[in-house]
């Protein structure tokens, strides 16, 4: 929420408090507010207590395979600091690798059996929608790149696609972290963006899985399979456009297009001439389509309020 700074008198600057906060906290003339600085943020509070740092602890067994999963969960839950301990020597490279998808998390303290990862960035409410849009764009780009590789019959952009996948995870995790730590204009809106960002991450992972199948296949894909893939990616792009520029007419068209894409992929799957790789790819595309459908429904419910 943005507020304009006003000049009162010759040199006094003031900012008004939104009425919903005045009502919620029953503020009145004469009440005192605590003002403090945190990074580039100016924080107003009703008391003089310092903002508490949310801390977590992970105790690792030897050769623990789920460190990335544990750290990501705490990160998305809004933890500011995570202490990692073990009875065995910790691997600094492994710790750093586990944080490469966590924007703002940095390794700050390191000993043989104890390391501390701390948030060095301040999530801002105003960033959520921009992050969300960027997340959409990157996932669409992964799909378009996969489509090009399918046409060429080679996984030519493997490194580029994995970098994009890493970006998708970073953006999704950061978006969800900000949503946990702050509020948008409504809880419903917050939940919807949280849900859609998770689905976009799933779609990105599914696209990468298709890319790996392309790279491992020695057979070229049929024209029908390439067309089905293109329709699926086009559907995702159109859903994003309707999020950016909402239209009741476009929403109806998307529903019809969704049915067309579903029928097309199902019809292709029934062909007896498909090889096993194509069947696998089309099966993954049905999962992609299911994710896109759920995104379409969620966006339809809040697109008018964004």
Output the DSSP codes for 22-67: HHHTT--TT---EEEEETTEEEEESS-PPPPP-EEEEEEPTT-TTH
DSSP codes joined into one string, 268-289: HHT-TT--HHHHHHHHHHHHHH
List, for residues 88-110, the tens digit of each pLDDT value.
999 999 999 999 999 889 999 99
CA distance 30 to 21: 16
Joined tokens for residue 60: 């690792």
| Cβ density class 55-68: b for 16+ within 10 Å, e for less | ebebebeeebeebb
Question: What pLDDT was estimated at residue 306?
Answer: 41
CA torsion, ordered 193, 199, 202, 203, to nearest 10 deg: -110
pLDDT for 117 beyond 50: yes
Mean pLDDT on 59-86: 92
Contact 123, 173 (CB under 8 A): no
Joined tokens for residue 48: 């003089």
Q: Where would I find the H helices in the chain?
A: 19-24, 67-76, 92-98, 128-152, 158-181, 187-216, 223-244, 248-269, 276-302
Mean pLDDT on 115-131: 81
Which of the given ranges, 189-193, 197-201, 301-305, has the highest pLDDT on average?
A: 197-201
CATH number 3.40.50 is the correct assignment for the domain at 55-119: no
Where are the chain's structural domains? 6-45, 55-119, 125-305
Q: Is it true that 55-119 and 125-305 share their CATH fold?
A: no
Mean pLDDT on 38-54: 67
Joined tokens for residue 16: 């008004």
Question: What pLDDT was estimated at residue 201?
Answer: 96
- Which residue has tokens 């419910």? 301
pLDDT for 69 beyond 60: yes
Beta-bridge partners for 38: 41
Beta-bridge partners for 55: 81
pLDDT for 82 beyond 70: yes
Give the pLDDT band of residue 304 (cuts 50, 70, 90): very low
Distances (CA, A) of 97 to 16, 165, 168, 184, 297: 45, 15, 16, 31, 35
Q: Please give the mean pLDDT across all residues of the chain.
A: 86
Distances (CA, A) of 296 to 193, 199, 258, 300: 12, 11, 9, 6
CA distance 206 to 13: 52
Joined tokens for residue 89: 């020597």
The answer for 134, left when phi > 0, alpha when psi is -120 to 50, beta otherwise, is alpha
CA distance 263 to 253: 16
| pTM of structure | 0.76
CATH number 2.10.60.10 is the correct assignment for the domain at 125-305: no
Question: What pLDDT was estimated at residue 95?
Answer: 92
Question: What pLDDT was estimated at residue 128?
Answer: 81
């Amino acid at each position: 929420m943005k507020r304009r700074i006003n000049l009162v008198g010759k040199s006094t600057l003031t900012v008004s408090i939104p009425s919903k906060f005045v009502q919620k906290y029953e503020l009145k003339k004469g009440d005192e507010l605590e003002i403090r600085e945190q990074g580039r943020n100016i924080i107003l509070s009703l008391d003089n207590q310092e903002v508490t740092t949310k801390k977590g602890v992970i105790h690792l067994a030897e050769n623990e395979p789920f460190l990335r999963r544990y750290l990501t969960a705490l990160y998305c839950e809004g933890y500011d600091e995570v202490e990692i301990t073990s009875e065995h020597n910790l691997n600094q490279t492994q710790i750093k690798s586990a944080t490469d998808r966590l924007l703002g998390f940095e390794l700050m303290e390191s000993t043989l059996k104890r390391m501390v990862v701390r948030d060095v960035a301040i999530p801002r409410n105003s960033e959520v929608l921009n992050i969300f849009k960027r997340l959409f764009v990157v996932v669409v780009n992964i799909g378009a790149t996969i489509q090009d590789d399918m046409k060429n019959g080679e996984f030519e952009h493997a490194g580029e696609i994995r970098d994009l996948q890493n970006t998708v995870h970073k953006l999704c995790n950061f978006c969800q972290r900000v949503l946990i730590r702050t509020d948008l204009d409504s809880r419903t809106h917050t939940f919807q963006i949280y849900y859609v960002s998770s689905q976009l991450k799933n779609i990105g992972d599914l696209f990468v899985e298709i890319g790996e199948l392309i790279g491992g296949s020695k057979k070229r894909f049929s024209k029908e399979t390439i067309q089905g893939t293109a329709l699926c990616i086009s559907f995702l792009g159109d859903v994003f456009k309707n999020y950016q520029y909402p239209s009741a007419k476009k929403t109806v068209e998307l529903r019809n297009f969704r049915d067309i894409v579903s029928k097309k992929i199902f019809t292709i799957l029934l062909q007896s001439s498909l090889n096993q790789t194509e069947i696998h790819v089309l099966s993954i595309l049905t999962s992609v389509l299911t994710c896109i459908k759920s995104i379409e429904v969620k966006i339809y419910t809040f697109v008018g309020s964004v």
